[in-house]
Structure 1
Amino acid sequence: MSVARIPRGKAWAAAISAVLVTLTLPTVTATPAAATTTAYDSTYYKNAIGKTGTSLKSSLHTIISSQSKISYDAVWNALKTTDQDPNNTANVVLLYSGTSRSKNLNGGAVGDWNREHTWAQSHGNFGTSAGPGTDLHHLRAADVQVNSIRGNKDFDNGGSAVSGAPGSYTDSDSFEPRDADKGDVARMILYMAVRYEGDDAWADLEPNESTTNGSVRFHGRLSVLKQWNEQDPPSAFEERRNDIIFTTYQGNRNPFIDHPEWVEAIW
């Protein structure tokens, strides 16, 4: 039996190359972040589509600044609708704990729920006046005691467990919500940073990397909020809430619920 000679040197290399050319390897390409398509892209968001960075932020600010304002007293009844428990229409779902509690237990006593300003009122000194102080896109029903523990702290990871809010943690200068609320918090904070740019009666609200903002117009921690936005995508509860605020109360939307990828496009 004859044995084929194995080419050596350049001839050998050429033969190997010829064999490799015949092998088809899968093409590896980077997969870009999926862009969300919504029913509002050709109408409400039409002037923002395709933009990035400061141009996108500016366009979104113009879009969402067209807004009806409600009183702080009216927020009570609004939250009973926006935060309604989908499994029990007599209750609301509380931020930070996920507890379902009777709509009638709103107030200031232990066991009640009250109106949590996710963007702390002191971070820009807007209080409860109509505007940022009553903007439903960052106001949520929360347990009175848990709300007090959060106070006006910035958001970050770490700390000790929060009593009454399993999965939430806090330390001297920051608060970490439970995993199911992390994205909600991030998108509420970043909505405020786009909606309030200092061109009306209110401060220019902006995110930063600090966890000691206290009473200045900033809220941290941006890098962590971006992680939370990725980690916890918009839920059906969040999307329903956005729709109700848009159609029933304020006439504007939180763009980061509709397009969570816009967080990275801006920041």
Structure 2
Amino acid sequence: MCSSIPGLSVPVPTVSRRKERLSREAKSQPSIGHMKESKLYRLRHRNSRFETFAVFAHSTPRLAIRAISASFSLRLSSSFLWWTLSAGVIAFALFSQEFSGRAVVDELPHRPPRYPCEDVSGYYSQVELAEGVKMMEQLNLLISDHHPLTYKEVWDALEILDAADVENPDASSDIVEIYSLRAVPKSLAGKLEGWNREHLWPRSYGLARGPSLTDLHNLRPADVNVNSSRGNKFYGECLHEDNSCLRPANSEAAPDTEADKERWAPPVQVRGDIARSLMYMAVRYGLHQPIGSPTLQLSDSPSIDGARMGLLSSLLKWNEADPPSKSERLRNNRICSLYQHNRNPFIDHPEYANMIWKTPARANSVIVSSSKGWINEFHYRNKGKDLNEFVEVVVSSLIDASRLKLVLYNGANGKMYKSIPLTGEAFSITSEGSEFLIYTAPLSLQNGPADGIALVSCRDDGTDEVIQFLSYEGVTTAIDGPAVGTRSLEIGVRETEDSSKLGSLGLTGNGLRTFQWKRFTTNGSPGRLNPGQDLGDP
């Protein structure tokens, strides 16, 4: 049996009975139980024989010399080269103050890759570029077979992965907190005045059991107080019209953080890092999960019950605005080589994100797709008890409106909760002298997030045609009803708890090709054209 050393092929002598006895005697000595192994060595448990011996020589040189002497006396001719190499290792260990376990197990530049993930180009060689679920399936298969850690092992791992000195993590006495970007002593781990382990994808959003709880791609050190402030808020910037926004998000957080009652925006410097971590989680734990384990998803309609984290649109934007840094890539490399033996694909290939989650087109920048009819205005929320809720649809006078209906969808589960024909008793009809009719109905609408409104037409063959499927406060995919399998278009504006009962959301512009969604604060106009709206020709 041979052990490969870069550049050489050296026979390793077999162990004689005398050597075995010497080894047992050596193991019985108390000093071996106190080997001064580095944290990197302790976790790199599958080292080659040569690497293991190098760290052993550094930790207990006298015992190593005895072992080599025994080997030398037993098989002088066959092990001379082995003895020479080993003696050199011991000399290096004894006389170099800079020699450490990290140098052996983390910085061997010429050794062949031990785990497939260490060969980055080879790791992705079988991935065929695709879109959506097909791309997710390939990446899930690639990264799912990884070595899980215990919670105790996570503490030690974070001290290496997030060390303040990224080049010499084992020697660094500090770690860097993810939301404050401060360097704080490793010794404050788990203390009230110190730092703890932050799950970027919160535990309450589907991290029920198993490796998802200790996955290092999702864990970062965070200040205890700042971590508490973040809680399980989803990621995203504050709404511009929301006066409850805090900047910074916490007095001990970085100055460019912000938060409101639902959202949390981390420091700009690490927004891309966090986005890519959540993308990894959605791929790793979003497919083929054990029975009883939630399947994680990214969405613009976050839901604890649905294990949906977000905001997807913000994460996609952050991924592009903040590309992977040297330290982020190094962290990915170390998770691969030292701990889990898998990689975060979105650090190596940020472009994979848009292949899976293309940024959904916003309806406020999309031309009305059909002159048959469209959803023109609605009101769903205001301060206090919701009043004056309605939906308004504009339909060409050339169309048989009896074929049209509105279908309302619940964003929390993608299911329809109401269907109303346009020619039923609920709708009133008005005309302003154009070639279009305005159908308006007082309807109780859900307050979001991601609730949808679909305008549906019945074809001659009796099947449904979805003319338009809009949503507010997020994106949803219908799982039943006429729009089943269809992804909504988010209109990009919303009402809040402070909105007026006289307000609405509606289209404005001159002609179908220029329409955009706008929030009308106090001048909603059910049954009439919206302020600044000209229908033009059909």
Task: State whether TM-score is above 0.5.
Answer: yes
Task: Give 1:51 shift.
Answer: 2.9
- The Cα offsets for residues 22-53 of structure 1, whole Å up to 9 and x where unpaired, read as xxxxxxxxxxxxxxxx9523x21122143333
Whether 1:189 aligns to 2:278 is yes
Equivalents in 1 of 2:210, 2:190: separation in Å?
20
Matched letter for residue 160 of structure 1: L
- The Cα offsets for residues 127-183 of structure 1, whole Å up to 9 and x where unpaired, read as xx4411000001000100110011011111023122111211111011000100100
Contact preservation (8 Å) 2:300, 2:312 = yes
Q: Quick one: structure 1 residues 89 and 125, their matched pair in 2 at CA, closer, same or farther if it must change by over 3 Å?
A: closer
Larger Rg: 2
Equivalents in 2 of 1:187, 1:49: separation in Å?
20
Task: Give 1:96 shift.
Answer: 1.2
Task: Give 1:197 shift.
Answer: 2.4
In the other structure, the counterpart of 1:138 is 218
Equivalents in 2 of 1:132, 1:39: separation in Å?
24
Match of 2:203 among 114, 121, 126: 121
In the other structure, the counterpart of 1:97 is 180
In the other structure, the counterpart of 1:160 is 246
- CA-based RMSD of the aligned residues comes to 1.7
Task: Give 1:125 shift.
Answer: 4.3
Whether 1:62 aligns to 2:147 is no
- The Cα offsets for residues 209-232 of structure 1, whole Å up to 9 and x where unpaired, read as 025x23531101000100000111
Equivalents in 1 of 2:119, 2:334: separation in Å?
15
Equivalents in 1 of 2:288, 2:298: separation in Å?
17
Task: Give 1:86 shift.
Answer: 2.1
Number of residue pairs the alignment of both structures matches: 225
Identical pairs, percent: 39
Contact preservation (8 Å) 1:57, 1:194 = yes
- Counterparts of 1:1-267 in structure 2, within 5 Å, are 40-41=120-121, 43-86=122-165, 89-109=172-192, 111-126=193-208, 129-158=209-238, 159-161=245-247, 162=249, 163-166=251-254, 167-201=256-290, 202-211=293-302, 213-267=303-357
Task: Give 1:89 shift.
Answer: 1.3
Equivalents in 1 of 2:306, 2:135: separation in Å?
25
User: SS of the counterpart of 2:216?
Assistant: coil
Unaligned 5+ runs, structure 1: 1-37
Equivalents in 2 of 1:224, 1:150: separation in Å?
17
Equivalents in 2 of 1:214, 1:200: separation in Å?
17
- The Cα offsets for residues 186-218 of structure 1, whole Å up to 9 and x where unpaired, read as 00111000000242333210000025x235311
Contact preservation (8 Å) 2:137, 2:287 = no
Matched letter for residue 143 of structure 2: I
Higher strand content, 1 or 2: 2
Equivalents in 1 of 2:188, 2:305: separation in Å?
30
User: SS of the counterpart of 1:107?
Assistant: coil
Unaligned 5+ runs, structure 2: 1-117, 239-244, 358-538
Equivalents in 1 of 2:119, 2:287: separation in Å?
30
TM-score normalised by length of structure 1: 0.80
User: SS of the counterpart of 1:147?
Assistant: helix
Equivalents in 1 of 2:305, 2:213: separation in Å?
15
Following superposition, which runs of at least 4 residues in structure 1 exceed 4 angstroms of deviation?
none
TM-score normalised by length of structure 2: 0.41
Q: Quick one: structure 1 residues 39 and 51, their matched pair in 2 at CA, closer, same or farther if it must change by over 3 Å?
A: farther
- The Cα offsets for residues 95-141 of structure 1, whole Å up to 9 and x where unpaired, read as 011111111110140x3110000000000142xx4411000001000
Equivalents in 1 of 2:313, 2:164: separation in Å?
31
Equivalents in 2 of 1:168, 1:68: separation in Å?
34
Q: Quick one: structure 1 residues 72 and 130, their matched pair in 2 at CA, closer, same or farther if it must change by over 3 Å?
A: farther
Equivalents in 1 of 2:352, 2:222: separation in Å?
27
Contact preservation (8 Å) 2:207, 2:213 = no
Q: Quick one: structure 1 residues 51 and 214, their matched pair in 2 at CA, closer, same or farther if it must change by over 3 Å?
A: closer
